[in-house]
Amino acid sequence: MSGDDDSHDWDAALAEDGAKNDAPQSDRVLNQDEIDSLLGFDAIDDDGSDRTGIRAIVNSALVSYERLPMLEIVFDRLVRLMTTSLRNFTSDNVEVSLDNISSIRFGDYLNSIPLPAILAVFRAHELDNFGLFTIESNLIYSIVDVLLGGRRGTAAMRIEGRPYTTIERSLVQRMIEVVMHDMQQAFEPLSKVNFTLDRLETNPRFAAIARPANAAILVKLRIDMEDRGGRVELLLPYATLEPIRKLLLQQFMGEKFGRDSIWESHLATELWATRLQIDAVLDEQTMSLRDVMNFQVGQTLMLNASPDSPIELRCGGIPLVKGHIGRVGPFVAVKVDRMLKRPAGAAQL
């Protein structure tokens, strides 16, 4: 009897579990869009903007530094200068374009460099720090092909798995020196900076100019020479830009950056043709307002000046020169004896 009771209890327990399994449950499976939204991935827009979900939490440790508006203007000017200088350097039709400017950690950038490549370490003397140029293999072979007279319409021959030759390194070094000269001109309206090439490396480990966790500005430039070309990347650590950080934070208002020779010549022409009123001051007296209000018609004011007393020439109340009064023909003239020191903040004429 005991065995029958146990089997009966076991059957009842199985029946109860089956009833629970048969009850309606919310076993909802997420679709791919919901999974992407949860993880923060977007298959349509992968530019890294407005990330959400888990990916936003992961990327919160990445570099997020303040924008430097004037730095964008400097690199825009660099693109225009490079387009002209590289055309003269290669005697070919060269187009330089700015892909993007981003912030990145130095260690992450070294790990992302596609090899083989040439890394040029340069020094900014006034900033007392270093920067890094990365020239990818496509651009290296294209520059070598163009400078050595390669025919147009044929792709540059790439031989992988070997180190770059001395000729290739020398030609690339010449191109880098041209680009650094353009960088010096691009920074000059903002701050004078001299860039000199320190060394060329092919191994990223030997091009360490900052700690892996340090932040840096990465500028990607595209150089196209008709059917040939490649990319060059400029890396500037934030420590390098720190001495001129306040200048880079300025907002760009109108065409105040750089020099416009046409406007300068027009302004100079108009300034030379400007008419000014010059006052010759013989004497000055300090009087009370009562005496001034009591002036009468025909009253004579006595001045403390003689024919030999020096007089002062002023423009807009600003003293310019001192001299002696005289006569030249029918005109009253002033012979200039000495210049006067202008007060601080006075306009220069």
pLDDT at 159 over 60: no
Which position has the token pair 């327990």?
13
Q: Is 243 left (phi over 0), alpha (psi -120 to 50) or beta?
A: alpha
- Token pair for 148: 């050595």
Q: Using the 8-state DSSP alphabet, how is residue 259 labeled? A: -
pLDDT tens by residue, 262-297: 888 888 888 888 888 888 888 888 889 998 898 889
Work out the end-to-end distance of the chain between its first and last CA atoms, rounded to an integer number of angstroms.
Answer: 124
Residue among 202, 158, 196 at smallest CA distance from 179: 196
DSSP single-letter state for residue 221: E
Q: What is the pLDDT of residue 43?
A: 45
62 — pLDDT class (breaks 50, 70, 90): very low
User: How many residues are there in the chain?
Assistant: 349
* 158/289: higher pLDDT: 289
Q: Which residue has the tokens 């040439």?
A: 118
Secondary structure (3-state) at 249: coil
Give the C-alpha separation, 314 to 316, whole Å. 6
- Set out the domains of the chain in order of their start, with CATH numbers: 69-157+164-261 (3.40.1550.10), 275-295+302-339 (2.30.330.10)
Q: What is the mean pLDDT of residues 130-138?
A: 90
Closest CA to 136 of 232, 220, 223: 232
Mean pLDDT of 50-73: 60
Is the pLDDT reported for residue 257 higher than 70?
no
Among residues 308, 85, 273, which one has the least CA distance to residue 179? 85
Amino acid making up residue 37 = S
**Average pLDDT across the chain, whole number:** 78
Q: What are phi and psi of 86, to 5 degrees?
A: -70, -30
Mean predicted confidence (pLDDT) in 141-159: 72
The residue written with tokens 């890294």 in the block is 48
Residue 100 pLDDT more than 70?
yes
CB atoms within 10 A of CB 229: 20
- 203-219 mean pLDDT: 88
C-alpha separations of 200 from 135, 164, 203, 207, 233 in Å = 11, 11, 9, 8, 14
Q: 134 CB contacts (<8 Å, ≥6 apart)? A: 113, 117, 118, 119, 120, 232, 233, 234, 235
The first and second tokens of residue 243, run together, are: 């001495």
Query: Higher pLDDT residue, 233 or 63?
Result: 233
Q: From residue 345, give the alpha-carbon distance in Å to each of 123, 226, 318, 319.
A: 38, 55, 11, 13
pLDDT tens-digit series, residues 88-98:
988 888 899 98
Give one DSSP letter per residue of 72-128, joined into a string. Answer: HHHHHHHHHHHHHHHHHHHTS--EEEEEEEEEEEHHHHHHHPPSSEEEEEEEETTTT
